[in-house]
Structure 1
Amino acid sequence: MYIEKIVLRNFKSFGKKTEIPFCNGFTVITGPNGSGKSNVIDSILFCLGLSTSSKQLRAERLTDLIHNGKKDAEVSVVFSDNGKRYEITRKVKITDKGYYSYYYLNGKSKNLSDIHKFLSHYGILNYAYNMVMQGDVTRIIEMSPFQRRKIIDDVAGISEFDEKKERALEELETVRENIEKLELVISEIASRLSKLEKDREEALKYKNLLKEKEEFENYLTLHEYFSILNSLKKVKRELAKFDRQKDELTQKIPSLNKKIEFYNGELEKIVQKINELGDEKISELQSKILEYSSNLESLRKSREFYLDEIKRIESEILKIRSGLSKINDELESINDEIKENVLKRMNVAEIVESLSREVESLKLRLQEVDREYQEVKSQLVEKKEKVEELREEKSNLLRERDKIIEVLRRIEIEID
């Protein structure tokens, strides 16, 4: 890339628009003293923002660069790069409150840092020694070897690559630290993941064992449940049987009472007849009395037996009902156990599911850290390659510097 032309308007001694073309190669600007040759160099420094202060441009203030009687000044530097053209423009204008200064790149407003960033792509750095000003050659000859070497390094671009090398080494160290941190993170996540895998396996094993235990407990509960149901059915059948017997016996009691009443009436009649009849029939009546008395006694015994049976059946019914109540309590207890087992199973399933989610999350985090590690590793490789390139460029520049030193030495010899 080279300067194709410079366009000046109201800058220092150039009171009107002036265009200065440059050739691709070596261009010389000649003229008498005070004709504005140095102002051309000042215009380049001004436009590209390479001057550290207005005094470097031989002016007290920036507004002193404006031609006398004018309100603004403008300088444009046009670069050519393999057929591409880039135009950098800087304007300074006096206002009521002072002045303002603007930069433009290809007609678009930019700030100074944007201009420096653009120029740095072509090796023009704002902190480097870019232009040999008036009197610099004499000062270079009068300088000490150390100062001269520093200027030659700046001109040759070695100092720039030294700074780039330092920055690259700092970035390389930062990358190494990041890699160490990532390796620690990966190690920690891997150990935690291993522990969680073991916990997950144990939880799954516990879940399976708990599931088997619940199944066997459910089988046992169902067996007890059906056994109790069968007992309940049997008890209900016996209760129904006793109820029928009780009803039958209860139905027989009135008839027995009637028979007893009937025999008592007959007995009274017999007693009356005995009193009425003579001795002949007393024996006959006594035999009948004995017969009726024995029948009556057997009926009484039957009645007592039936009453005792009724009491026994009622006590059995009470026992059976208390047994039914106990069976119902057991059934309710079994139902509660079934519900509790279902809840426990749900809680264990939630714990296993939570552990599975945490394991998956850690796996994703491990993959992410691994990707970051690979990226940092690739950056490290790139930085190493860049450092090698900088070293090679530095070697080339050192060779160029040695050539320049040799040329300066010859110039000193010729001057002497």
Structure 2
Amino acid sequence: MYLKSLEIHGFKSFADKTLFEFHTGVTGIVGPNGCGKSNVVDAIRWVLGETSAKALRGAEMADVIFNGTDKRKPVGMAEVILTLADCEQGLGVDYNEVAMCRRVFRDGRSEYRINGTICRLKDFQELLAGTGIGRSAYSVMEQGKIDMLISAKPEDRRSVFEEAAGITKFKGQKKEALRKLEYTEANLLRVADIIAEVKRQMGTLHRQAQKAKRYQVVHKDLRILDLHLGHKHFTEYTAEKTESENQIISLMTELNDLHQRVHAKEQEVTETREIYHQVESTINGLRQQSQEFRSKIQGAESKIEFNRERVEELEGRIRRNEEDATNNRDMVDRQQRELAAADEQFSSIRNAIESRQYALEEHQITHNAIIPSAETGDGAPHPARNLPPAGRRGRHGRCQSAEPDQPDGHRPSAARSPGA
């Protein structure tokens, strides 16, 4: 059995998938300090089942995942696949090659696979037990490991020798067998306690068994009696069923009659409902007309009230006009009486004036006849020729007044002269 290949992806400094193939002979990995040579050994130890982050030079298991650089993003998973060849005799399996795969994610989940099948870390340890391959076996000797073995205690060196001799696997199997024997002995003790408890309960169980047998006999008799009683009840129920069926038939007949009556009543109700709807429509129409008439009545009442107020106002005006007419009629009568008196006075005054004018004319004529020559010689105007127009008698023998005529009813009263 030999190491065939190692595939690393996302583990520490191996961001890209890297494949190491180991051919026959000795294979050496050389390089400057810090190029990742120790990371290859850490990857082998990690895939073989190393669970200590401190042994892998880290604080926690997630530190083995590539954290990225200034130019590359970090990855979310670290994966290492170790392939062993010629494994039929060394591992005792039916396969020539065995690929052991281990993965870890940033959320802490881990995954183990053998030839693509998911398994446990314990399966890795059982597969590699006794082969000298493992996280603490002598197949991986890092720097300082030989000095540690030389200076170690005899008990620590003994584990290395036992691993080299191939008895570690059997010692593990022995330890597992002893653990199972202890577990079996504990189970036997619990079984002995259960047997003792059951023995103590056997007397009680025997009495309960006798009671159970008597119960079975009584239960059998009770079942027979129940059957007879059931048959009797069945006969009675059958008779009641027949009677009930007859009643049901009569009730169905009555029900059909009732259905027919209900159908007729429903038709009557439908017709009544239609009539009710018609009456309701008529009532609504009448209500609407009543509302319209009520509105018209209110308008007419408003007009009547307005006309009543107008009539009262006009009647007041008529009464005032009648009072004014009565007053004016009295005034007209009084003024007519005054006018008649004034006319009479005017006639008397006019007659007096005419008589005075006539006397004045005669006096002028007499005067002119007495001294005509004296006035003519002196160049003075003739008195008769220089009379004013008012002093001349008219064509009809009445004196014409110099004042303009006034309208009827508004003639001024003639002033009475002192000598009239």
Which TM-score bucket, shorter chain as reference? 0.3 to 0.5
Higher helix share: 1
- TM-score between both structures, scaled by the size of structure 2: 0.37
Larger radius of gyration: 2
Structure number with the bigger relative contact order (C-alpha 8 A, sep ≥ 6) is 1
